[in-house]
């Protein structure tokens, strides 16, 4: 079965922090692209990486809108599970994650 969204990491964070969250979710996903009505610009179709601060409490996960970031990784006309797995294994995602954490002063919980 194909997965159009894969959670790559769930990083526990030290509190307090800028986002008042306890976890950072890193996901790879495929998007059909098109017009982004929040920015007013079209987005390409393809594979993206999302980094989102979230609060995880038991079975409940919550987040604050507009706190995360996403990076375009690879353009694609259609979804392929093979390419999704390659994107998920990309070592550059670790760099994006560490840059985001550094910019916002987030630290991993030990």
**Sorting pLDDT into bands at 50, 70 and 90, what band is 2?**
low
Considering the chain, what percentage of its residues have pLDDT values greater than 70?
98
pLDDT tens-digit series, residues 15-36: 888 999 999 999 999 999 999 9
Q: Do residues 26 and 97 touch, judged by C-beta distance below 8 A?
A: yes
CA distance 101 to 37: 27
pLDDT of 1 > 70? The answer is no
| pLDDT at position 7 | 94
Whether the upstream peptide bond of residue 16 has omega within 30° of 0, thus cis, is yes
Question: Which H helix or E strand runs over 13?
Answer: none
CB contact at 8 A, 78 and 59: no
């Amino acid at each position: 079965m194909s997965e159009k969204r894969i959670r790559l990491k769930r990083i526990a964070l030290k509190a307090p922090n800028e986002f008042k969250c306890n976890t950072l979710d890193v996901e790879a996903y495929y998007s059909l692209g098109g017009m982004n009505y929040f920015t007013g610009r079209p987005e390409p179709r393809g594979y993206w990486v999302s980094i989102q601060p979230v609060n995880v409490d038991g079975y409940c996960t919550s987040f604050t809108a507009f706190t995360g970031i996403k990076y375009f990784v690879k353009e694609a006309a259609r979804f392929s599970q093979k390419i999704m797995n390659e994107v998920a294994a990309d070592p550059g995602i670790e760099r994006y994650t560490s840059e985001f954490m550094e910019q916002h002063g987030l630290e991993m919980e030990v």
